[in-house]
Chains A and B, each alone.
Chain A
């Protein structure tokens, strides 16, 4: 059974750096056909893709947040880490990690399954 679980602080102050960890089980971060994405959702709003990482260390970031995001992985711990600098109240959201399946070609991919999400509130 494939599962992902997000962990990190529930409250951060403006200007602080957020560090979130996604711990996966049921698949390996060394599998070339799978990666992990981070996606967020402000309360009552739509989903926003943030970043992804694959086994070969291929990384990609949201255009608008690229300067603030860093994604990395610790294969030995089955963890993917996302850091976001200079947090602002508008970054208040539920942050999800999700497995990306990429079974054939760069274009054919989807997010499944997703973690339960973790709500991060940015407030002083």
Chain B
């Protein structure tokens, strides 16, 4: 199985900050990487697919980059509603696997 490792596991930031979350795959997955946002008690929501494509309705302050084994999710200017947990997920091969999550907390 492909292992997905996110860093950091948690992050404290303030409104207006630029934030970057990293996801590393244990083998190359080309660009087949998705990002999700999950708020407490809610289902995850798709943010970015195929590494760089913004899902419809997602604010443009979210962006994704990377290919091969290393990927990043960037929030250009944190808003209050962005404090949540973020997961990466590889769609290259089954079994699909998720990262362990990055919890973004308010400083």
Interface set of A (CB-CB < 8 Å, partner B) = 37, 46-49, 52, 60-63, 96, 98, 107-117
Contact of A117 with B91 in the complex, beta carbons under 8 Å = no
Size class of the B contact interface (CB-based, 8 Å): 20 to 34
Chain B contact surface mostly: loop
Closest to B85 in A: A46
Using A63-B1, A115-B43, A117-B43 as known contacts, say yes or no to A46 and B98 having CB atoms under 8 A apart: yes
Q: How far is the CA of A52 from the CA of B95 in the complex (A)?
A: 10
| Interface assignment of B44: CB less than 8 Å from any CB of chain A | yes
Interface set of B (CB-CB < 8 Å, partner A) = 1, 30, 32, 34, 36, 43-46, 49-50, 55, 87, 89, 91-101
Q: List 23 A-B contacts (CB under 8 A).
A: A46-B100, A47-B36, A47-B98, A47-B101, A48-B98, A49-B95, A49-B97, A49-B98, A52-B94, A60-B94, A62-B95, A63-B95, A107-B32, A107-B91, A107-B92, A110-B49, A111-B34, A111-B44, A111-B46, A112-B46, A113-B46, A115-B43, A116-B43
Chain A contact surface mostly: strand
Smallest CB separation, B69 vs chain A (Å): 15
Q: How far is the CA of A88 from the CA of B92 in the complex (A)?
A: 30
Give the residues in chain B near A110, CB-CB below 8 Å.
Answer: 34, 46, 49-50, 89, 91
Q: How far is the CA of A96 from the CA of B101 in the complex (A)?
A: 17
Smallest CB separation, B44 vs chain A (Å): 6
Closest to B92 in A: A107
